Structure 1
Amino acid sequence: MAVSWRVLVNTVLLITVVGNFAFLYSMYNAPNRYHPEGHGTDVMTMYEDGDISIAGGRVNMATTTTTATTPQHTMAEAEDKRAHVQSSEPLRVRAYSSKALARISVNDDTVLEVGESAGEAGRGIHVAVINGHTGALMDTNKFDTYVEGADLRLLSYLRGIHPNRIVALAVRDEASFHLGNDARMELIKMGSIKIGQLQWRDTWAMVARVGSPDKTSDALARAPDFNHWGEGVEVSAEFERHAEDNGCNWPDTPHFKQRRAFCARYDGYGELCRCDHPPAIAPSPSPAPPLPNMATTPLVIMASENRPKYLLRSLRSLLAAQGCIPSNIVVSIDGVDKMEAEDVCKLVGVTAMRHRPTSEKNGRISQHYKFALTAMFDRFKDAEHVIVMEEDLDAAPDFFRFFSTALPLLKSDPTLYCISAWNDQGYTHSTGDVTRLYRVETMPGLGWLLSRRLYKQELEPRWPGPDKLWDWDMWMRMNENRKDRECIVPDVSRTFHFGATGLNVNDYFQKLYFAKHRLNDDPTAVVNTQDMTAEAYDAALRRQIAASHILDTQQPCGTMVPDALENTNTPLVLYMTMKSAGDHETWLQLAKCWHLWDLDVRGFHKGVWRFYRKGNPIAVVGTPYSPFSSHKPDALEPLFMAAPKKKQTR
């Protein structure tokens, strides 16, 4: 007997639907987990250098300066939509969901609206967090739960919203496909009755007050069949304004006054704004002598005005790294309309500057990079090098030591182009030595250092204009700019890409290509810079290949490493077919098999890829293109893996 698609989906979600009632029952018969947090009683200690210690951490309180490319009142006017007129009238919150539109309003003023023109970028669950006393919009966010991984971010986000905030959720297009049980259960705890029933292309909306699940309202409209969407659905609720929140009982210091104001204006910052035992902005690393080269090497963080929470996470990791000099950090914010990213900089105590956007899409990002690099070398006139970070990168605890140790290589070797903290092939299963460095012909980015001479004499005069919608990093990788020079990268990366939203990334892409990268966690690690000049590196690589165990090429997608050799640090070599510099057919298939970077070709040196395989250093040698293929035994047939044939379309 044929079974309809809806019957199948209902069967899969049966446990979740039944769970609605169990969780709702438990909420009314157990202590409320959303009780307001208690007031902290931590003691703040002042240090002679102006730092403060909170709950064992230490924070530098340097003064923030801001360079704006637009009058301050313009940004303030753009922010006016955050603040709803205060009055005694109740707050009427509406959320509307449909295939083409998600909209949220407070007392008939629209605070969030995403239409069909947003395309896939507007798909998923849209969330607005509203101050329960003033009615001000505190935060908005979007979770594309059509793709894998977004529901975990949604779960974390919901758990970080503070009690008495009003939360409105609206769906545009589709939100059920990868909305897992944990996120659904969290919404049920908040009072949702319908979320357990949400299925393919149903529409759903919800309005709730955090900590008061009995005040929650949600509604759902069924999709009539697999190929169509549910009708538009709207839910509304009216909330009495709660008493004005005077903030946490934190010490009466400039920092905590600033933090209190920040947390009253914005939401979604979790533990940073909790009243009980608030963490330091960043724990101070253990005392250590200044790192060579770092006092005159500033760092710029490339940031958009739309991802301030990413920016805070990145800044906290940098401030916790050994050798960090906060006064050397500048955040370049692309955009002049929103204040939150700049307020993050003020809270942390670093300098911010703003870039008025030009161009669009990748061209806009490219113009922002040119603006920031020019500004940094102009601002720090004695700096011969600049480190470039991005707002969605964590820094390793030895981030600055890595650059301090590797920088002399760039200074002394004209065959080098840059130093990068990121290894494109540096996954948890493909790395093995925190001290090892490689030379690669591609510019990795994602935490990198370049020289004033390179930028001012070569790159800046030729930088693509606003009319070129190019990726800046792809442009820098072109050999007309690189000129056969190479970059130094570590075996184990000193940055970690955590951003799941952006122009060129989503939750699925982040999980597939970035989430399993390895970040060094050893603060005492020191990279080995021996044999890193061009001639010495090639000589050492030849010695390694000559002494390596040659892998069988018959089962390329298997382990290929004999059991007796696993995790023995035995050098391995694999010879594969590579007839010319542009012949990457076999490598891309092998990279896919071994779960390495396979979107394009990166991380090679003269036709050789180096990483770790089953706990052993391996060199994959392109034959006959690579000069290192001369070590291949004559009788050995190099590995060849054909790319799958493309399906023909009529």
Structure 2
Amino acid sequence: MSITSYLKRRVCGKAASIIKRVVLPAGAVMLLLQLFTTSPSAPQPQDLDSLIVPGEAIDPILERKIDRVHPTQLHPNLTPSSWSMATANITDSHKVRFKGHAITNQTVTLTLMSSADKVFMSINKKEIYRNLGDRGIHLVVLNQHTGRVMAARVFDTFSVGVEEEMVEFIDDIRDGRVLVFAVLDEASKNLSWRGRNKLKELGSRWSDKLGYRDMWALVTRKGGLKMAETYSNVATADTGYEWGGPVFLRTDFDLEEQSDECQWENNERNEARRVFCRRFEGYGAMCDCDVTSWANVFFHADSKLDEELRRQKLYKELGVAILATDRPHYLYRTLKGLWEAPGINRDKVVIYSDRPQREITALARLFGVYLIQTGQPATNVSKVNIRHKVQRIFRDVMGARFPPESVLEGVLPDDTLPPFSTSHLLLLEDDLQVAVDVFKFLHTMIPVFEMDPTILGISCFNYYGFGDVANSLTTVYRTQELNPLALLLPSRTVHEHLAPRWPKVNASSEWYLPLRTALLASPGRALVYPEVPRVRHLGYRGVLINGAVQHNFFRDQSLSLTTDYHITEADVQNVELSRYEARLLETLKASEPITFDFCKHDLLYKENPVVMFVSYNGSRSDEDTFLYVMQCLRTWHAYPEAGWRGVWQLHYHGHWLSLVAVPLSPYSYLKPDDYSPVTAPSSTTATTSSSTTSSSSSFPSS
């Protein structure tokens, strides 16, 4: 007997038919009515504490499943604004709670917002930072004792290479500081393993997952524990557009009462360091407690050379002027490099800044250098601001007089005292790294101004100064092309060629236009520059510089790292016009002609000179072959630079390689009759042209 039959007969008996025909159909009808007529019940409130990982913000995916009361419902008189956190739907349930954490007088509340178009931060409802337009990762450094902002930087990690600068900056921050990170717009495209690993070291668990246009925020302590983190993914954000939803974070932390001031020896220099390091952050050895003296902040290269250069006549006639903007950490790196170079006359260093800036002023006081705040009127053309600033430098330091139509009202005030006067001026920008032998090189080469009046200046920079083609510390070249980075100018050039032809007030040209005009006005005029650069560009942001330009064209340039070499008097004399051309002709005649594709093959190491005749007529439309050859040599290939009469010379694999442009160069006649000028493969011509067109504007001012 089956179980069904047993239940019918033994349990239900005569009621089995009634259950089958009445009870079961009635139950089915009631169930259907219940499903179609009853509204869904409201979800039961959940315990938010169970959704919070200690040290984390609420997970953005779980966050949308939780009902919350809007702050305007709790406070009817609260008026939301574009910057009010009332519009951010942040309630007490968003706070990060730590077990056993008690609110004291030292507790502060940090609130921040990260979104596609703005970043905002506040402490105890007081705004400490906002930004509406700078793409990338925003980093604000807070003092753990006072809660004050010590540094604020933006790293556009959408651009290649910028993460390297971010990692270096984080490494230069002292342990214990509170670091606040937030994303604006996009920050992941070129954030590679190096940057992500650095963020993981700081406690982040979302840095590996940060994707294109995701939003992210992190509050952590350098060398300590993470305080809070939140993240919004594009794929899961219910925003209706192509960015992750805005993320909001609120966390409490206690300010530390015990001071962390370094126990340095009490003296004037260390006291200046203490004052500076209380207010600013990100300066590495300058604020490192283990670096106990001012002298130990700097690398000391060659004290004997320093004493030798101080005894030279030109020591007191060589000044340095630095063009500074709103990049104090760049300026610090430039000043530190100058202080480490033997032969620096520290009494003749001046910084020219556009307007009063607290951190730049503090740096000038720390190093004890002159600071001139030009206070020039703001314009929309940055190169015009730079031109007015350089004009002020030439007037103050070299006593130059300019035509009245070139002087903007207020740019050259009559009631100011010059910082110093000099006959030779090294003009630097604040994003340049100076080599340890820069003053040795300049002191050695300055006599060429008296020897050859056709030389208008000395540049410490070489566009082609990459490791594969620049390895001779004693080789110096002439060029009729402009090379205005790290330029040493004698007073003769400023008074005779620059000041009288200075652009008019309403012109939009750069400051170096008169110098370019002077170089082209008379055959034989030139600038000289070293094969191995004595200065290199390190800035990732500026007027004409961004991360991609710095990474692709300047990042791998060489820099002289020693003072152990000797430029002979004969080497200096060979730069004089007649001797230089005689040596160039002799070298070309003695060189072995080659046709070689450096992209496909590697030239054997030898020491014999070689020459390659390249098809190039000097026009923009015909530079593809030249740029292809330079790219294959792994050197500068944005546009042709720094040639002399259509000839470029490089040291490559031991060879002194000369590239002669045919028919541009007057030395084209040296091409053998059976030699066909080198041309780029047809498959690369279009690529080379298109890749350099966008970069072919000059990058002299950053």
Say which of 258, 261, 282 aligns to 2:298. 282
Larger-gyration structure (1/2): 2
Say which of 346, 360, 373 aligns to 1:341. 360
1:644 aligned partner: 686
1:353 aligned partner: 372
2:67 aligned partner: none
- Distance in 1 (CA, whole Å) between partners of 2:233 and 2:366 is 45
Aligned-residue identity in percent: 26
| Offset, 1:107 | 2.1
Q: Secondary structure at the match of 2:322?
A: strand
Q: Secondary structure at the match of 2:179?
A: strand
1:453 aligned partner: 492
1:371 aligned partner: 392
Is 2:449 the partner of 1:410? yes
Contact 1:223 1:231 in 2 (8 A): yes
In structure 1, give the amino acid aligned to 2:230. Answer: A
- Distance in 2 (CA, whole Å) between partners of 1:461 and 1:103 is 49
1:593 aligned partner: 632
**Change in CA separation of 1:423 and 1:159 when aligned onto 2, cut-off 3 Å:** closer
Which stretch has the larger CA shift, 193-202 or 139-148?
193-202
Q: Secondary structure at the match of 1:605?
A: coil
Say which of 109, 116, 123 aligns to 1:106. 123
**Change in CA separation of 1:354 and 1:272 when aligned onto 2, cut-off 3 Å:** same
| Offset, 1:361 | 2.0
Contact 2:480 2:520 in 1 (8 A): no
| Offset, 1:124 | 0.4
| Offset, 1:467 | 3.9
- Over residues 228-262 of structure 1, what are the superposed CA-to-partner deviations in whole Å (9 max), with x where a residue is unaligned? 11011111211112115251111111111110111
Say which of 234, 241, 249 aligns to 1:235. 249
**Change in CA separation of 1:466 and 1:599 when aligned onto 2, cut-off 3 Å:** farther
Contact 1:126 1:140 in 2 (8 A): yes
Tell me how large the CA RMSD over aligned residues is.
2.6
In structure 2, give the amino acid aligned to 1:275. Answer: C
Say which of 263, 284, 292 aligns to 1:270. 284
- Distance in 1 (CA, whole Å) between partners of 2:164 and 2:514 is 35
| Offset, 1:556 | 5.4
- Distance in 1 (CA, whole Å) between partners of 2:639 and 2:510 is 14
Q: What does 1:138-537 align with in structure 2 at a 5 Å threshold?
A: 138-214=150-226, 216-224=227-235, 228-245=242-259, 247-278=261-292, 280-284=296-300, 285-287=302-304, 288-289=307-308, 290-304=311-325, 306-336=326-356, 338-358=357-377, 359=379, 360-378=381-399, 379=418, 383-465=422-504, 467-473=506-512, 476-478=515-517, 483-484=522-523, 485-527=525-567, 528-537=571-580
Contact 1:424 1:597 in 2 (8 A): yes
- Distance in 2 (CA, whole Å) between partners of 1:432 and 1:191 is 43
In structure 1, give the amino acid aligned to 2:212. Answer: W
Contact 1:170 1:204 in 2 (8 A): yes
| Offset, 1:539 | 0.8
- Distance in 1 (CA, whole Å) between partners of 2:640 and 2:510 is 16
- Over residues 451-481 of structure 1, what are the superposed CA-to-partner deviations in whole Å (9 max), with x where a residue is unaligned? 2122123312332345434343466434577
**Change in CA separation of 1:154 and 1:168 when aligned onto 2, cut-off 3 Å:** same
| Offset, 1:573 | 0.3
Q: Secondary structure at the match of 1:644?
A: helix
In structure 1, give the amino acid aligned to 2:214. Answer: D
1:552 aligned partner: 595
Which stretch has the larger CA shift, 481-490 or 248-257?
481-490
2:60 aligned partner: none
Q: Secondary structure at the match of 1:195?
A: coil
Contact 2:473 2:565 in 1 (8 A): yes
Q: What TM-score, normalized to structure 1? A: 0.80
- Distance in 2 (CA, whole Å) between partners of 1:437 and 1:505 is 27
Q: Secondary structure at the match of 2:160?
A: coil
Which stretch has the larger CA shift, 469-478 or 126-135?
469-478
| Offset, 1:497 | 1.4
- Distance in 2 (CA, whole Å) between partners of 1:383 and 1:165 is 43
Unaligned stretches of 5+ residues in structure 1? 1-20, 25-86
Structure ranking higher in helix proportion: 2
Contact 2:469 2:652 in 1 (8 A): yes
- Distance in 1 (CA, whole Å) between partners of 2:148 and 2:521 is 50
In structure 1, give the amino acid aligned to 2:553. Answer: Y
Q: Secondary structure at the match of 1:212?
A: coil
Q: Secondary structure at the match of 2:498?
A: helix
Say which of 55, 80, 95 aligns to 2:112. 95
In structure 1, give the amino acid aligned to 2:243. Answer: W
Contact 1:103 1:113 in 2 (8 A): yes
- Over residues 120-157 of structure 1, what are the superposed CA-to-partner deviations in whole Å (9 max), with x where a residue is unaligned? xx110001111122221111011111122222222222
- Over residues 9-54 of structure 1, what are the superposed CA-to-partner deviations in whole Å (9 max), with x where a residue is unaligned? xxxxxxxxxxxx9xx9xxxxxxxxxxxxxxxxxxxxxxxxxxxxxx
- Distance in 2 (CA, whole Å) between partners of 1:192 and 1:181 is 13
| Offset, 1:445 | 2.1
2:87 aligned partner: none
| Offset, 1:560 | 6.5
For these two proteins, the number of residue pairs brought into alignment is 551
- Distance in 2 (CA, whole Å) between partners of 1:354 and 1:475 is 25
| Offset, 1:323 | 1.2
Q: Secondary structure at the match of 1:472?
A: coil
| Offset, 1:171 | 0.6
- Over residues 520-542 of structure 1, what are the superposed CA-to-partner deviations in whole Å (9 max), with x where a residue is unaligned? 11213333213211111111011
- Distance in 2 (CA, whole Å) between partners of 1:598 and 1:474 is 23
- Distance in 2 (CA, whole Å) between partners of 1:576 and 1:180 is 39
Q: Secondary structure at the match of 1:242?
A: coil
- Distance in 1 (CA, whole Å) between partners of 2:564 and 2:615 is 40
| Offset, 1:325 | 1.2
Q: Secondary structure at the match of 1:322?
A: coil
- Over residues 383-433 of structure 1, what are the superposed CA-to-partner deviations in whole Å (9 max), with x where a residue is unaligned? 322111121112222211111111111233122121111111111111121
- Distance in 2 (CA, whole Å) between partners of 1:224 and 1:470 is 47
Contact 2:501 2:514 in 1 (8 A): no
Q: What TM-score, normalized to structure 2? A: 0.74
**Change in CA separation of 1:464 and 1:152 when aligned onto 2, cut-off 3 Å:** same
- Distance in 2 (CA, whole Å) between partners of 1:303 and 1:168 is 27
In structure 1, give the amino acid aligned to 2:629. Answer: L
- Distance in 1 (CA, whole Å) between partners of 2:555 and 2:236 is 35
- Distance in 1 (CA, whole Å) between partners of 2:217 and 2:365 is 36
Q: Secondary structure at the match of 2:551?
A: helix
- Distance in 2 (CA, whole Å) between partners of 1:364 and 1:246 is 41
In structure 2, give the amino acid aligned to 1:515. Answer: R
- Distance in 1 (CA, whole Å) between partners of 2:361 and 2:263 is 25
**Change in CA separation of 1:91 and 1:349 when aligned onto 2, cut-off 3 Å:** same
- Over residues 289-334 of structure 1, what are the superposed CA-to-partner deviations in whole Å (9 max), with x where a residue is unaligned? 2244232121111111x21111111111111212111112112223
| Offset, 1:225 | 8.1
Q: Secondary structure at the match of 2:316?
A: coil
- Distance in 2 (CA, whole Å) between partners of 1:239 and 1:183 is 26
